Chains A and B, each alone.
Chain A
Amino acid sequence: MTLSKIWVFAEATDGKVSSTTLEILTKARELSGTVEAIYVGGDADAVAAVLGAHGATAIHSTGDIGSALPGVPVAAAIADAVASAGAPDAILFATSYAGRDIAGRLSVKLDQPVLTNCVDLVLDGDSLSVVEPVFGGTTDVTTKAVGSGPAIILLRPKSFVAEESGGAAAAVSTIAVPDTGAAGAAKIIERHVEERQGPQLEDAAVVVSGGRGLGEAEKYQMIEDLAKLLHAAPGASRAIVDAGWVPYSYQVGQTGKVVKPTVYIAAGISGATQHMVGMKGSKNIIAINKDAEAPIFSISDLGIVGDVNKVIPALIEALKARG
């Protein structure tokens, strides 16, 4: 048995479709006879080939929504499309800023729950279940949507591997954005881009993350230095992001980025649930922590029980000496 229709909320930046969108499309076509994309932006034609190549046969595009935050207008457009075009079995979103906002608003519009933090989709007959990791990924909870309308599902990045289907460019059609009045009045006035050097956290082959064990904000420079030597992306635990040592864009974990690099180095990170969910898919994990009982050691391939403020400088010197 397969589902008959799934909609996937497709996201792109400057015409480049997000990798999570392609991952979700790949999974969706395994589950459903028809996969269609929902898209926001004036350039749906430009992404039609990529979305089609990953399994979407149609794109329902809202067109350009100007400076509006997407949650309210896009959820309203999707709800109208569900009413007019027929409800899909499921509407899938990436766990992203836009995805969470739209899914939350849509949930109220359709009076359907949102299944969140999902890392897998399982079909049992024609009933769709989702898998959500809890307690730092040590436990998997499987949940079935039992409502009558479409299941609204938020999926975590890197849950699936994107593969092309060889499909033709998706056919683009327009879905109207209704007037949402004052509720839709939040407007973006100006965008600010924070410069980051080196590889992107999500794409880097090596990630070096620091945590509370560093002791103080100034010590994070060691992490940056080590990352540079390894051509790695620097990351951080939520604890030091919350403490204001580094910007949120550095955060690896449940709330931040999900990373699956070849090597992940956790320096002074004890391994809170929040963090482990974001990095336990790494191929190799090296942990340095002074507490031998730290949970991070239960998932690391190499664990060094010691002071990061001694081990990291020594490591940096050794790497520099190799040239």
Chain B
Amino acid sequence: MDLAADRLPAKNDEMNVVVCVKQIPDPADPGAMDPETKTLKRDGKLILDESDSYGVEMALQLVDTAGGGEVTLVSMAPNSEVSGLRTALAMGAAKAILISDPSLQGSDALSTAKVLAAAIKRVEGADLVLTATESSDGYTGTVPEQIAGLLDLPSVTFAKSIAVDGSTVKVQRQTEAGYDDVECPLPAVVSVTAGVVEPRYPSFKGIMAAKSKPVDEVTVADLGLDASSVGWAGARQEITSIAAAPSRQAGEVVEDDGTGFEKIVAYLDNLKVI
């Protein structure tokens, strides 16, 4: 990827998009913390974070609109995990870079961003980097801006819609009050709000094709990063305790027999809300 500010504007007939995707434990299974390492357990099967499926869909649509180019996935995951990547490849992404390295265990968000940014630099001719606004398991929500900062690229977070016009990306950005129209020169990093597009279901053909699409697995050393700057070694935050939060007591729970609404009316009445 040529990240120089004076790189040639993106050609209108070709759009190369990198999508950062996270492979996470199935949110349907209750999560757990490992009492030894004080991190989220990730030893089971991982799946594509649903939050990332929107970015993958948007990227595929942008490539379609441009009439050329391709979508490259970048993911950091333990144990050479590819099942989530295969889902996104089956949707239509062309290839993937997977960073898997035991030294990455315990990485904080900034270290994760350093790894992803280094991997993104390996993608030739990328015009745009898409991410989710936050992952569904760790949800720090800082990685998109950290990646952009590390690559020294402009960025727009919380995109509801993305359109590319020559060398400019036009984004509708979610705000407290509604949304802003934002314009930003390419190449750029844009984080995509969940739910703004309908992610396509992989077709049978797509699923079959995904099995042979290239996944370039790299290590921390391959990326030219120092192992002491990532993982446990590089984390500058230390979890000192994990404790049960003060819990609310469950109150009365009644089966509705057609008069459940009366219970609610009485409850609200008692609080003088009505």
Contact = CB atoms under 8 A, between A and B. Distances in A.
Interface in B219-243: 235-243
A87 interface: no
A303 B158 contact: no
Interface string A18-59: 000000000000000000000000000000000000000000
A138 B247 contact: yes
Interface stretch (A2-10, A129-137, A168-176, A214-222): A129-137
B163 interface: no
Interface in B235-274: 235-245, 247-248, 250-256, 258, 260-265, 267-268, 271, 273-274
B274 A288 contact: no
Given A105-B145, A186-B156, A292-B253, A139 B242 contact: yes
B140 interface: yes
Contact of A263 (B183, B237, B271): B271
Given A71-B157, A97-B157, A100-B142, A186 B182 contact: yes
A117 B140 CA distance: 7
A322 B235 CA distance: 59
Given A109-B149, A191-B175, A230-B274, A255 B155 contact: no
Contact of B245 (A108, A133, A300): A133
Interface string B122-159: 00000000000110100111111110111011111110
Contacts of B153: 182-183
A181 interface: yes
Interface in B84-115: 108-110, 113
Contact of B239 (A141, A181, A288): A141
A231 B243 CA distance: 38
A181 B150 CA distance: 15
Contacts of B136: 274
A211 to B, nearest CB: 14
Contacts of B160: 248
Given A142-B239, A192-B179, A303-B250, A107 B146 contact: yes
Nearest to A295: B30
Contacts of A312: 261
Interface residues of B, number: 81
Given A186-B154, A298-B250, A129 B240 contact: yes
B36 interface: no
Interface string A183-201: 1111111111110000000
Contacts of B260: 288, 304, 306, 311, 314
Interface residues of A, number: 96
Interface stretch (B12-20, B187-195, B201-209, B210-218): B187-195
A315 B264 contact: yes
Interface in A264-308: 265, 272-274, 280, 284-286, 288, 292, 297-307
Nearest to B250: A298
B272 to A, nearest CB: 10
Nearest to A76: B149
A255 B150 contact: no
A242 interface: yes
Nearest to B141: A100
A182 B177 contact: no
Contacts of B268: 230, 263
A147 interface: yes
Contacts of A145: 236-237
A114 B236 contact: no
Given A139-B33, A242-B195, A302-B252, A116 B237 contact: no
Interface in A145-167: 145-147, 154
Interface of A: 13, 69, 71-72, 75, 95-97, 100-101, 103-105, 107-109, 111-117, 129, 133-135, 137-147, 154, 181-194, 205-206, 230, 238, 241-244, 248-249, 254-255, 262-263, 265, 272-274, 280, 284-286, 288, 292, 297-307, 310-312, 314-315, 318-319, 322
